[in-house]
Amino acid sequence: MRSHRIHPPPTFGRDTYAPLVSTHHSIVVARSTTPLPLLPEVCSAFGTGCFNLVLFGDGWQMAEMTVWPHQWPTVGAGPGPIAAATGAPVLAAWISDTACAQMAADVPGGPSWTAHLVDEGRQDCGFDHEIFNTLRSPGPEQPPADHHRLAVDLAAWSAAAGRTTTAERIEAVLRNENMLLEHRYRAMVGELGLGAGVAFERSSWTDDRIRTAWSEGFAASYEIPTPWNRRSKASPRSTALVAFLELHDAAKFDPAITEADLVTHAEKALASG
């Protein structure tokens, strides 16, 4: 059965929000009439896996995205192409466990900036920002962001988005070290003046063929050669299963892709050489 119902708003803003599904992933805030996980510019920059989509109204959304292993060589375009495609400001972050958020913002016709958010007083986070990070920062690690300066920049981003907030409200959340950084970042998004967020219920299916093809597609994602996995050899079957994996990602948010479509593609992928 498919479902595209909108649930009542979850707790969002000053309180902790969202289940802890993955602590290494991207969070993208942008405005679009299309669900963000279906935008090519989002997928090419942050991967096709989306485990949480929040709708704020007036087109504003927050998508939490994951990258499949075979996608790492091609992700990393950042928020710029999304801002160009949507004509609206974009804010993105790569969350590394509870230690840091590598942030990037882009405003059409306005400023773009990056920041490395860590707990106050820390000089580094110990995580990779050069390869396995959708907002790659080659070279020396970016110095920790000044919380006040970052709050001012985020308030300016909110104003460019036509929202109303204050740097003081944002800074209070950024400094709240009683919250895990991942939860703190979501709470900060709740202070950008985007309104109450409601969770988009993704479609799900119980057909065993779909489940099997997804599971094998995930395993096949590791078989696609990458710069750090050169010994792997992609086969027609692994290529077909990876294509199904990405189709499955889109189907969760696209009502035009039916369960019957997924079953057809799953059978073809599983039967491919």
DSSP one-letter string for 41-91: HHHHHH-SEEEEEEEEETTEEEEEEE--GGGTTT----SHHHHHHHSS-EE
Is residue 273 scored above 80 in pLDDT? Answer: no
Q: Is 113 exposed, middle or buried (0-12, 13-18, 19+ CB in 10 A)?
A: middle
Higher pLDDT, 142 or 25: 25
- Averaged pLDDT for residues 202-215: 94
Res 177: pLDDT: 87
- Averaged pLDDT for residues 89-111: 90
CA atoms within 13 A on the CB side of 48: 22
- Averaged pLDDT for residues 55-61: 95
Q: Is 241 exposed, middle or buried (0-12, 13-18, 19+ CB in 10 A)?
A: buried
Q: Which of 19-23, 120-124, 165-169, 200-204 has the highest mean pLDDT?
A: 165-169
Residue 234 identity (one-letter amino acid): A
- Averaged pLDDT for residues 17-23: 43
Residues of the chain above pLDDT 70, percent: 84
